Amino acid sequence: MISKLPRWVEYGSFILAFVAGLINAVGFLGFKHQSISHLSGTATLLGTGLTNSTFMDSSYLLFILVSFMMGSAISGYFLRNGALKLGRNYSLLLLLEAALLILAAFFLTSDSLYGHYLASAACGLQNALATTYSGAVIRTTHVTGIFTDLGLMIGAKLRGERFDNRKAFLFLLIIVGFILGGSLGAFAFNELLFAALYIPASICILLALSYAVYTLSLIHI
């Protein structure tokens, strides 16, 4: 049951959504006004670009989509299935995400498209980190599905069904985290340009270390 959701999932989801909002804001403000962490708009632009844009522009959008998928593939290789479970090696994947973001910042500072692809791969890796827990879908790099789920819950409540307050709280945490991350990303980009990506990279490293320490503390209890 989602009501038994451990607190570490809530805290982690908020922080990861914050990281995704920050990354997406930097990408949107700094590179062709193109989002990084959610791909519906990118796929639409690719579709229209096949008839209205150059081959280079269409190739760029295609590589953004493929990079996100490859990042998810990295998580899929290490996690086996999508259910959240304490004890899995999330720390390694968070460190890999940090490495991708550091490389992205380096390449973007040099005006290289590789930086955008690496940032997209980092978001794909992160989104595959948190998929399901007790039947609840948990995504941290975009909020379209979160708003949809909240709407479904409200509709069910109006029909007389029980409203899951804990689940709603988790979804609200993700939404707020994403928005706050976007705000910090906009501020950081104005001050640091693409070096702002070092901020989410640092957060991922701290989160990886915190998770490792928390897991070890439970083992020794």
pLDDT at 133: 47
Structure confidence at residue 134 (pLDDT): 44
Q: Which sequence spans correspond to the domains of the chain?
A: 2-219
Mean pLDDT of 35-62: 80
Phi and psi torsions of 136, nearest 5°: -95, 130
Pairing verdict, β 136-137 and 132-133 = antiparallel
Q: Residue 82: is its pLDDT beyond 80?
A: no
> pLDDT tens-digit profile of 109-152?
988 989 989 999 998 898 887 664 444 567 777 788 889 989 99
| Of 49-53, 80-84, 157-161, 168-172, the least confident | 80-84
pLDDT, average across residues 30-47: 77
What pLDDT was estimated at residue 221? 58
The pLDDT confidence band at residue 47, using thresholds 50, 70 and 90, is confident
Find the angle CA(219)-CA(97)-CA(101) to the nearest 5 degrees: 145
Cα distance between residue 179 and residue 151, in whole Å:
19
Q: What is the mean pLDDT of residues 36-44?
A: 79
CA atoms within a 13 Å half-sphere pointing along the CA-CB vector of 125: 25
Residue 175: what pLDDT?
Answer: 93
CATH number for the domain formed by residue range(s) 2-219: 1.20.1250
188, 26 contact by CB (below 8 A): yes
Mean pLDDT value across residues 162-182: 91
The reported pTM is 0.87
Most confident of 74-83, 105-114, 210-219: 105-114
Q: Where are the beta strands (DSSP E) in the chain?
A: 132-133, 136-137
